[in-house]
């Protein structure tokens, strides 16, 4: 029987021979970044969550032991490919639709971009980002090769619910089953703009009875659990709706923001095959007067300017960009119908730009009679 001293010596020798695991930085140093990046598909026909293995061996080495979420990785791939082509960004409105195209219906709380030289190793900031991820935190990471740089995109999310597998593209007449989510509500605008809603305590069954773009929102405690679009009997849009054709005007003053807002509103109307609204200086004046005399109400302000009784709505948004404001309106089931239908024929707009961002006030009027 070996002595205690011998056991201690043997243990020390074994410990000296055991090789400590490589740090993530060391693992990153060993990779061949000259390999052509391999990206996951950026588009899916359904919404679903699933742990997958990265197609790119370089990425696989860096995220080993992480919860690599296939749909998040697909969204990251869509953004990365757009950036490589000189078009994309991580603006909220682009990110939202990239997530939908890839089949992710839940909020993302962190999305980042790192650029390196061609065939370059990831920067230390990316390594630090990976190191602080919890093993069970859904994440996605991809790299794409541009003309003169490599682009890395990382995303992470903490979904509070799992709605199961839901279609993103489907046929008219398909029933959609939402599972029970205690304390949550659902709301949907169908392909014709009709809004319905209810509780999800017992789940819900929705018949997708009309063709078009359906917008679903699941909420609890005043925040989104899920928000997603279903394309019923139609093809999904390959590009973000708010992506303008041609260069985007720079915004350095309130006039620039106002011009951009009008351009984006026209672009949205055109994207949905609707006639653009005509500019109305009188309605612009009505917005200004409404903001000065809110207690009178919008209808009274319009009447004072000579308009006959009319249906009127006023929307206000405070955000960092014009597109973010219109993105909120477009994907709000209660607002999108007015934005993309012929139910409204006139609008007024006031735009304010300050150190906190952009402040839009939009007045929508249902009247064919000018004062």
The domain locations on the chain are 12-156, 166-232, 254-366
pTM attached to this predicted model: 0.89
CATH 3.40.640.10 fits 254-366, yes or no: no
Residue 161 has pLDDT above 80, yes or no: yes
Residue 371 has pLDDT above 70, yes or no: no
pLDDT band per the 50, 70, 90 thresholds, residue 5? low
pLDDT band per the 50, 70, 90 thresholds, residue 14? very low
Residue 19 has pLDDT above 60, yes or no: no
pLDDT, residue 6, reads: 52
Alpha-carbon span 155 to 138, nearest angstrom: 8
pLDDT band per the 50, 70, 90 thresholds, residue 352? very high
E runs forming strands in the chain: 46-47, 110-117, 139-145, 149-156, 166-167, 169-170, 174-178, 185-189, 195-199, 204-208, 212-220, 223-232, 311-319, 346-354, 357-366
What's the chain's average pLDDT?
90
| CATH architecture classification, 166-232 | Sandwich (2.60)
Residues 233/205, Cβ–Cβ less than 8 Å:
no
Alpha-carbon span 157 to 137, nearest angstrom: 7
Rank 144-148, 247-251, 306-310, 343-347 by mean pLDDT and report only the highest. 144-148
Residues 66/130, Cβ–Cβ less than 8 Å:
yes
pLDDT band per the 50, 70, 90 thresholds, residue 299? confident
pLDDT band per the 50, 70, 90 thresholds, residue 10? very low
pLDDT band per the 50, 70, 90 thresholds, residue 18? low
32: helix, coil or strand?
coil
Residues 257/248, Cβ–Cβ less than 8 Å:
no
Alpha-carbon span 67 to 69, nearest angstrom: 6
What letter would DSSP give residue 68?
A: B
Task: Mean pLDDT check: name the lowest of 7-11, 19-23, 83-87.
Answer: 7-11
Backbone angles phi, psi at 8, to 5 degrees: -65, -40
Alpha-carbon span 291 to 314, nearest angstrom: 10
Structure-token match 């928000």, residue found: 227
């Amino acid at each position: 029987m070996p002595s205690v001293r011998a056991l201690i010596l043997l243990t020390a020798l074994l410990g000296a021979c055991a090789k400590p695991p490589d740090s993530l930085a060391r693992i990153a140093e060993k990779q061949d970044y000259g390999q052509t990046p391999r990206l996951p598909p950026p588009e899916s026909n359904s919404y679903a969550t699933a742990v997958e293995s990265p197609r790119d061996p370089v990425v696989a080495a860096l995220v080993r032991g992480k919860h690599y979420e296939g749909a998040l990785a697909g969204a990251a791939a869509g953004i990365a490919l757009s950036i490589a082509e000189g078009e994309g960004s991580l603006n909220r409105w682009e990110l939202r639709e990239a997530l939908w195209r890839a089949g992710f219906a839940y909020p993302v709380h962190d999305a980042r971009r790192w650029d390196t030289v061609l065939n370059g190793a990831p920067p230390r900031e990316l390594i630090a980002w990976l190191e602080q991820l919890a093993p069970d935190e859904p994440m996605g990471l991809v790299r794409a090769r541009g003309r003169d740089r490599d682009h890395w995109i990382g995303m992470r999310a903490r979904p509070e619910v799992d709605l199961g597998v839901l279609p993103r593209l489907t046929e008219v007449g398909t029933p959609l089953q939402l599972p029970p989510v205690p304390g949550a509500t659902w709301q949907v605008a169908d392909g014709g703009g009709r809004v319905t809603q209810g509780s999800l305590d017992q789940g819900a069954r929705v018949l997708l009875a009309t063709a078009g773009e359906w917008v679903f929102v699941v909420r609890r405690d005043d925040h989104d659990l899920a928000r997603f679009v279903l394309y019923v009997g139609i093809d999904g849009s390959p590009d973000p709706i708010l992506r303008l054709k041609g260069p985007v005007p720079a915004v350095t003053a309130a006039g620039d923001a106002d011009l951009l807002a009008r351009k984006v509103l026209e672009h949205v109307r055109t994207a949905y095959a609707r006639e653009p609204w005509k500019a109305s200086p009188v309605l612009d004046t009505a917005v200004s007067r409404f903001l000065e005399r809110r207690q009178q109400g919008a209808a009274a302000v319009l009447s004072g300017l000579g308009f006959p009784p009319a249906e009127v709505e006023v929307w206000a948004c405070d955000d960092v960009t014009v597109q973010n404001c219109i993105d909120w309106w477009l994907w709000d089931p209660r607002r999108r119908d007015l934005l993309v239908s012929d139910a409204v024929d006139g609008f007024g707009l006031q735009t304010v730009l300050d150190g906190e961002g952009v402040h839009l006030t939009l007045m929508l009027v249902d009247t064919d009679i000018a004062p």
